[in-house]
Amino acid sequence: VKCKFPGRPRNGYISLSGSTYYYGATARYTCATGYTLQGPNTRVCQQNERWSNALPICQSKYSRSRLNPGIPGSTQDSRFDYGRSVVFTCQTGYRLSGQAILRCGSTGKWSHAAPSCQIVTCPTIQTPLNGAVSVSTRSYQGVASFSCESGYVIEGSPNRTCQASAQWSGTQPICIPPTHGSIQPVSSGKVANGTVARFSCQTGYNIQGSSNRTCTGNAAVGSWTGTQPLCQPVNCGDPGTPINGIKEGVIHTLNSKVQFKCQPGYMLTGPTELTCRSSGEWNGSKPSCSGTFVYTVYGLILHVTVKLIASTYQ
């Protein structure tokens, strides 16, 4: 009596003992790594030319029950048979701690422990000199709010947010004193949306920049319009150099001085020094230089001073 081929389960193996496919031959079944035999592991060729029992199957080992479904984030695969892998990602603002890829092993266990998602944390933020900072939290989407002491003006980002990159948004602000000037209203903390800050300079200084700046934005993020103004000293301009004369001094700002001299053979008419006043004007007019001629009459030297115009010298 001879039986037909007994069959081989998928992902399994068969070995035969005795005369191949003849009466009394025994077929033994095993499974590949990662699979478990479901059914009889042997079959015998019978007198009726049929194999005893039914063909077994090789069932894949599962790791499904060993995966923690409560992990924050998501997976890109939902099948966890032997040999398959699962990939973990985290939501925006979170970073993966542990292995991102887990593989189902031959024993039905995962290759690594389940990972976790940790919220992003930004570095410690600095407190500006002559200012203060209030931080809700250093974690993702936390807000740091800055303010300056009375009489100081904030320059930079008054509010900074912890981003998913673990870096604070904006730039580190500084508190700038309004040198040679003042600001109204003066505030040491937050101001309301629409508040107008008005800048002015001391006598002898001119404002450069925005004399009025308005607070705009919302409760979370705000900013000032315009640019931070500066108080620059007044400039009287170059008073000029007299013909046939010399001017000493190249600075023409508030309280600076210039001196005048004449070349040899000429006499100075007017002030020898001018000072720049807070009005932006010199305290006098530019002097002039007059020529001196020498004549000899009957042994006597007569000095005659004549004021000449520029065309005469030329």
> At 247, phi and psi to the nearest 5?
-115, 130
- Per-residue model confidence as pLDDT tens digits over 263-302: 998 999 999 999 999 888 999 999 999 876 443 343 344 4
Give start-end residues of each CATH 2.10.70.10 domain in the chain. 12-60, 64-119, 145-233, 245-313
The CATH code that applies to domain 12-60 is 2.10.70.10
Under the banding of pLDDT at 50, 70 and 90, the label for residue 194 is confident
pLDDT digits (tens, 9 = 90+) for 27-56: 999 998 878 899 999 999 999 999 999 999
| CATH class for the domain made up of 245-313 | mainly beta
Residues 179 and 176: their CA atoms lie apart, in Å, by 8
Q: What is the pTM of this model?
A: 0.44
Strands (E) located in 127-173: 131-135, 143-148, 153-155, 159-161
- Cα 91 to Cα 19: distance, rounded to the nearest angstrom: 63
CATH 2.10.70.10 assigned to 145-233: yes
CATH no. of 64-119:
2.10.70.10
